[in-house]
Structure formats: structure tokens, C-alpha cells
Structure 1
């Protein structure tokens, strides 16, 4: 949590890339364009952190899906901009980070007391970002810097979607709730003061004396329509083995329920994205795609269950988050478990489920599984690339992807109470490990 004092701003790094350093009425040189684009990259990146960080504290599952998509889009905008910068003098280095003052602006603006205040902050900062985009667009020569202009046009295409969605969440605060109205008005004033302090290089204003609801609380919230799986009997340590979780335990359609629980995976990646701040930008670009895919899988599963006539209250779902304050090493272990155990172990299950759905004539369900497998293969590749990097960065542990995968299997087997003398043999064979670690589906029963 940020310290809410009147810390004096340090704009030294920020001002070196600001619009104020390039005089009006002149053609921009390539290095000028690169400097101005860098500021936009960091705005996009912080918008992605802000949106991903606020997925867990929201309850409405459709808003969670929206923020998952918006965070991904902001990250992809940063990726497009950074790629253009790489074509110009002055590329972004592997160790470059958001300037401290800009990061604090976004982090302080994220410490909102409720969802309405958060969406107001988000819309406020999105407008500031797009003001900068439009300002730069007007400075570009449409021949000399057409590649940059094309990218800015791509970014502008999403402006209205971001703002319309955010505005709908705070446009009508319940008029009878005077306390909520007062909190919201105080937050609006705070955001104005926050931006004024940043813009004029003055001390940060004091934040309203209200407990923040987000971002990244120790435990994420579930939509009230999704019953919480809170009682976990000791005999059901294998994932999805408890028959109380789903009425589809003996059906291949259990695959849709498994998909419908993947919001917890998406939000767990959101905790990683927000909390870990010292990885290369390329890591966050891959992580944003991974997070958005898990959000899509959740949406796929929920949509298909409803289409097939089931109601959400027939199933039980997981909450996200560590449940307490954790060291950074928790994120490395969580990422390894997801990308080196849960996702690769799902391939056989999803392939068999797809084949069964084709046999049963359920085309959409079969294609669901096929797209899911395409995404999961990419996520496993992400894990091989970034898992060792996370361990090196967060745990000072130099380890290969293969050794990390083996270690993750042994930890999983220990959790499942497998005798120590048997763990090594089971872990050596990945198919055997997956068969032991997870519960198979009934592919012969629709």
C-alpha cells in the first residue's frame, strides 16, 4: 500500500521525455518522436496494471471480463508503441521502467474506496492519455512519420469503448445514498488535486480518509451469483475431484465447468502483473495475453453452461488471491504451478473432450476445446521462457525450465501426500504425473 504522505515529486526522468521539451512549429526528428512515444508507452502500461489490479475486488463477473480485455488492449497498445520506438533512435531498454512520478500517479489513483470511484479514476486517466495521443497526432507530419500516425490511429479506435464502459459505472450513483454520494464527490476532487500536483511538480495531496477497496486485495471477490467453494474436504485434494463442486462430474460437459472456474487463474496472474515491477516489458506483454486468454476461457465456460440450460448456482467456484500478504516469491511459485503443471496436464483431457464432443454432435463445445488447447500451448511456452526469469529475479534462483518443471511436480506430489520414496519415479514421467495429479473426465457420457 502506498504511503499517503506529501512526498515531493521527482519529475527528473519524466520531464526528459515530455512534450514540453519539443518546440511547437517544428518538424519532429526521429529521436523527438521516440521520446514522445515513450511517455505514451508508460501511460499504456500503467493503465494495464490499473485494470488488471482491479479485477479481483470487483464482484460483477461481466465487469471482470471487461477489465481483463481492457488490460490486454492497453498492454498491446504499449507493445505497438514500443515496437515503433525500436525502429527509431532511442529504444526502450530491458531495464527501463515507468518513471516514478507517473507510476505513483496511477497507483494513488487506483486506491479507490469502491468500484464507482475506481472507474472514475480510470476514465480520468484514460482521458489524460488520449489527450497526449491526440496532441502528438497533431504534431506529426503525415509523410515523414506516417508509421507512427498509423499506430496512434489504432489506439484511438478504442477510446470510446474504454470511456463509455467506465462512465456507465459511475454515471448514476444512487441518489438516496448520501454517504456514497459524498465519498464519490471527495474522490473526484482528490483525482483533480492528484493530477494538478503531478502536472505542476508539487507535493501529493492527502488522500481521502477512506479504506481502499483495491487494487489487488489479499483475497478476490466472487460475483454473488457464483457460489463459493469454501469447504475443501481432505480426501478431495485432486483438482475438481469433489462431487459437490459440480453436477457434471460424470459427464464430458464437466470440461465447461472447469473453464468456468478459470477466472481465479486470470486474477492470480493479475496479482503477479500488478505486484512484480522489475521484469522486462516483453514479460508483461506475454502475461497480459495469458491473463486475457484465461478470462476468455472463463467467459467461454460460463456462456456454454448457460446455453446448455444449467444455472450458475448449481456449481461452486474459487476465489483468487493469496488470501494474505505474501513475499514476491509466492508469485514465482504460482506462475510455475500454472504454466508447468495445470496447463500442460490439461492437454490430454481437452483433446479427448474435443473428440467426444465431435462424436456427440456438439460442434461448439468441440471447438471450445480446440481453441483452449491452442491458447494453453502458448501459455506453456510463456512458462518455459519466463518461469526461470521470475525465479532468478524474485528468488535469486538460477534454474532451467526443465528443472523448474520437475521441482513443481515434486511440490505437487508432496501436497497430494504421495510417499517421498515414490515422488521421484512419478515425477519423471509427465503423463504418469498428470494421471496421478488430476481427475479424468467421463468421455463416454454426454
Structure 2
């Protein structure tokens, strides 16, 4: 057997190392490509199902606001207008327009949204002089009609609508009376059991109030804790124990904080369930470790020469920390806080534990009003039996993703704008 020279051994070893490095590089590229492919599939599916939620099917009609039928006139006060039978007026109009057989009237009326009468009522409340006139209005159609017009039009069958209803809809579509418009109700209405009337305004307002409570509590407490632990706390076993537990809390499942909030804030202190106040308290507990860890990292990034120069000029410990170190570390602290708030924005599990899964129609006005948040609203809609709720679930996810992307982009911008390189 021929003995290999040292040079040949080295060359063979180098070939194996290069082959190993090439395989590792290929594995890394494949992992990145696979991850990006999964993201593309996920976002494509969400956009495909959710974009149509921003459009709503309506029907152009000219309807007479009969004051005698409604029992009001152009001088009626808002209280009388709210009691008028606008739903009956809509049904009477379609009954005269289509002239269905008696047994088909219920099927006809089911094509019209339960909010059609509310539309007319709102018009009259804004301008009572319309009473007695014939007005043109884009009446909301039922969610089944909305799904048919956007996804099933041209098909001979529909999972819910029967042949008689489809014949009416085909006729209205051919006459150009049916069309889609931007779904403003999706952004201006609260939750509803009717998909065509359901909106995210209540959830967005509840989310804003909850995050406001979270920020007002977590930012000052987290920054103060970071400053104390990094600049003033003595280096002993107690401080080490606290630091270890803060790092561990950052990895605790979020539902654990929900159980903690349920036991302490609701059961012990009696805070009202399903309010932005208790939601903000729970999310504060969850985001504090992130803010403290990022705050300490920002303080550590300040060069020691800054402290030494301040001490050399006769500054006290407090002056060094609050006049020199803190202003330089603040950009990093803000970045960590925004990332923590973005994490809190997407949390659902802890809020489910404190009752923010309730069906709330009204838009909250303060932190003590019953409310829900956007992730929980998405969870509720995902369990809806109607296909329109699936569509609105994807639409709400798109809105939530826009908020998350905006907050993370703001964190990146702040870091690049305010960060100083030493």
C-alpha cells in the first residue's frame, strides 16, 4: 500500500473541510428559502381571504321615506326618529318592487341586511328634512348575498341561497343595481352578530387603551428597574437572584401571566373583568422583563469613558447616571420598549384568562369600560359559523399585521436615528 505524503494528507483534509462547509452553507440557504416560502404561503393565504373583507356588497335603491308610515315628519325630534319603523319601510319597498308570492316574502327579505333600516334611520337623524322625499341609497345586503356576489356569481348553485333567491340576485346584477363599495363599516362599527355589520373599531379602541395603560406602567417601572440594577444595586446574591428571575420571566409562557392577573388583580383586588385596565396590568407584567433586559443592555453600551469624564469634572453618582448615561442609553431603551409593546399587541392567551373574550358591541370610552382587543376579536371571529366571518378574520389579521410592522419599523428607525456609534 502506497504511503501518503504529508502534502496529500493535508489536501485530502482540506477537500473534506471544503465539502463540509459547502454542505453547511447549502443547508443554511435551504433553511432560509424554506422559511421565506412558508411566509409567502402564509401571507398569500391571508391576503387572498382577507382583501375582500374591505369591500361590501350594496344595492342601489330609490326609496320613499313615507312620513305617514313612519309616524314622523321633517320636524320630528331624534327620539321619535329612533322609534320609527324603518325596517318595515325597507320590507314594504321590496315587497312592492319584487311583488313576490306570499310564501317567498321571507326569502326575499333575508337577502337584505338587518342593518338596512339602521342606514335609513341614520340618514334621517342627520337630515330630518328628508322625511317625505324619495332618496337614493346604497342599502347593505346580507352576508350570504355579499359572499355570492364576490365569490359565487355566475355559478348555478350556492351553499345557502336557493334558486328563487339566485334568480332575484341575477336580475338585480344584470340591471346594475348590485355592486361593491369600500367597507367603511369594517372600521367604524363595533362587533356584531351580523357579519356585514361587524367591525373592528371597538377592538382597535380597546387595543389602544390597553396598550396605553401598559406603556404608562411598564416604561417608567422597567427603566427605573434597569437603572437601579445596572448602576446602583450592590453585587450580591440577592441581586443575582433578582437578575436570574427577570431573565427567566422573559421566557415564561404568556398564559401564565393571565393566570397571575386573574388571581391577583381580579380575585384579590376586585378589578373589573374585560377592561383595558386589567388587560394593561397583565400585559405590563409580561413586558416588564423585556424592557428591563433591553434597558440594561442599552446602559451597558454607554462607554465607561463617559462616566469617568463626568466623575473627573466632579459630578455625583446621580448626576452621572441621569445627566450623562441615561440620555445616551434612552434610544436603546425606547427601541426595547417598542418591541415589548409590539409583543403585547399580538398577545391573546393572557387576555382570554381575564375575560376579554366577551362579546362587546359598544366602543369603549375609558379604561374601565368593557372592551376587547384586536387579537381576541380575531379569535372570536375565527369561531364564527358564517363564511363572511372567516373573511373578516383575515381582514382583521391584515390590520393587526400592519400595526405590528409599523411598530417594528418604528423601533428600527429610532435605533438608526438616535443611536450613537462610539
Tell me whether the two structures share a fold, i.e. TM-score over 0.5: no
Instruction: Flag the structure with higher strand content.
Output: 2
TM-score by length of 2: 0.22
Larger Rg: 2
Instruction: Flag the structure with higher helix content.
Output: 2
TM-score by length of 1: 0.22
